[in-house]
Amino acid sequence: MNEPKIACRNLWKLYGADPSGFLTQHDGRPSIEAIRKDGYIPAVRDVSFDVMPGEILVVMGLSGSGKSTLLRCLARLIEPTAGKVMFETHDMLAASERELIELRRHKMGMVFQNFALLPHRTVLDNVAFPLQVQGVGRREREGRAREVIELVGLKGREDYYPRELSGGQQQRVGIARSLAVGPDLWFLDEPFSALDPLIRREMQDEFLRLQKMLNKTIVFITHDFDEAIRVADRIAIMKDGAIEQLGTAEELVTRPATPYVAKFTENIPRDRLLSVKSVLTPAGSRKPAANSIHVDTMLTAVARRIMTDDASIDVVDSAGVLVGTLDRATYIDVLYGQEPLQ
């Protein structure tokens, strides 16, 4: 079984007079009421999760929920108050400053909402900059930079300056720069939120194309549930520094763990998110009909048929075995009813 690429255990970040002492007084598990009563700000509150190799974990929440602080604690750009973060075999909270610098230079890529490009450097020099910091020779770093510039679709613009690029192109430069070092772990903090909607969609497509090629382990911060649905393997929803629920988008929408998660996801178009397997009715052992549908078919794809055919539809798995049926009443209840699935 694969080991997690990054493992986070009981991570805390409190702001206030004596956060470490406060946690000790409460045996490491103070309530949100006690935190607020004593005047502390709960930026990250007892967070635990694993991110597996090649997985995209999206962390969501409203402004002030703690999602960006959590990412910075994972990379130790912000010093956590308590807890443990393991990156492969590296104990991030026990690492020296020198060890952290080396890990960030060679093992981690970071992309933030602010493109943070160097205005006096060309695209080529911006992308090659992390390799220059590593001490890589000019020929080698420029060769690698040209490779990733082509990878993100900017070939031919190597000699442009940031001011000569569109917002989407500037973000591609930021992505290329973070990829130049060949990171094992990629942190992205709302990388597309400053872009216009059409460009943002284009960059999401680009991101998914790159991930298919590179298979990076990614922690991706966003406040946009539509974006999360598109890119995530799993989604964590945060509130007041804590994770309310972590699961697939389908699990969050159909089986919300808390009223907050239910409210957070209530306006998500279910037909674009849910597959037939979420809503089928189990069937007995028999031969399926010839016009059966696959269990992973999205509900939106069967809308016309289910609304025009009075009979229920047989649902089969990849081996063609009957696993259930889908009927119009269940379809309507799931898409337009108020109750979560059981």
Domain coordinates of the chain in residue numbers? 53-265, 271-336
**Class of residue 58 by CB neighbours under 10 A (exposed 0-12, middle 13-18, buried 19+):** buried
Q: Rounded distance, CA 326 to CA 308, Å?
A: 13
Average pLDDT, the chain: 90
What's the predicted TM-score (pTM) here? 0.84
Kindly tell me the sign of the dihedral angle through the C-alpha atoms of 76, 82, 87, 89: positive
**DSSP character string of 155-171:** TT-TT--GGGS-HHHHH
Burial class (CB in 10 A: 0-12, 13-18, 19+), 152: buried
* Burial of residue 168, with CB atoms counted within 10 A of its CB: 0-12 exposed, 13-18 middle, 19 or more buried: middle
* pLDDT of 341 above 60: no
- Tell me what pLDDT residue 139 has: 93
User: How many CA within 13 A on the CB side of residue 97?
Assistant: 0
Q: In this model, does residue 181 exceed pLDDT 80?
A: yes
pLDDT at 329: 87
Instruction: Name the strands in the sheet holding 6-15, side by side, starting at the edge strand that comes first in the sequence.
Output: 41-51, 6-15, 82-87, 90-91
Instruction: Tell me the Ramachandran region of residue 241: left when phi exceeds 0, alpha when psi lies from -120 to 50, beta otherwise.
Output: left
Q: How far apart are CA 160 and CA 57, in angstroms?
A: 34
Helix (H, G, I), strand (E, B), or coil: what is residue 318? coil
Per-residue pLDDT at 340 exceeds 80? no
pLDDT at 112 over 60: yes
Split at pLDDT 50, 70, 90, the class of 206 is confident
User: Higher pLDDT residue, 73 or 255?
Assistant: 73
The predicted-structure confidence for 83-110, as pLDDT tens digits, reads as follows: 999 999 999 999 999 999 999 888 998 8
What residue type is assigned to position 166 of the chain? S
Residue 142 CA to residue 176 CA, distance in Å, equals 12
Among 14, 21, 20, CA closest to 36: 14
Q: Which fold has domain 53-265?
A: Rossmann fold (3.40.50)
Look-up of token digits 């988008």? 249
Q: Enter the DSSP assignment of 278.
A: G
265-to-166, 247, 250, 280, 300 alpha-carbon distances in Å? 33, 13, 10, 21, 18
DSSP letters for 58-93: EEE-STTSSHHHHHHHHTTSS--SEEEEEETTEETT
CATH number of 271-336: 3.90.1280.20
User: 80-83: which pairs have CB atoms within 8 A and are 24 or more residues apart?
Assistant: 80/11, 80/12, 80/13, 80/44, 81/12, 81/13, 81/14, 81/19, 81/20, 81/23, 82/10, 82/11, 82/12, 82/20, 82/23, 82/28, 83/8, 83/9, 83/10, 83/11, 83/12, 83/46, 83/47
pLDDT digits (tens, 9 = 90+) for 294-324: 998 988 888 889 888 888 999 999 999 999 9
Q: Are strands 293-294 and 234-239 parallel, antiparallel or unpaired?
A: unpaired
Tokens of residue 191, six digits = 């990388």
Average pLDDT over residues 37-46: 95
The stretch 266-275 carries a mean pLDDT of 80
Task: Give tens-digit pLDDT for 157-179.
Answer: 999 999 999 888 998 999 999 89
Nearest CA to 43 among 186, 219, 264, 238?
Answer: 238
> pLDDT-derived band of residue 337, with 50, 70 and 90 as boundaries?
low
- Tokens for 211, please give them: 């991930």
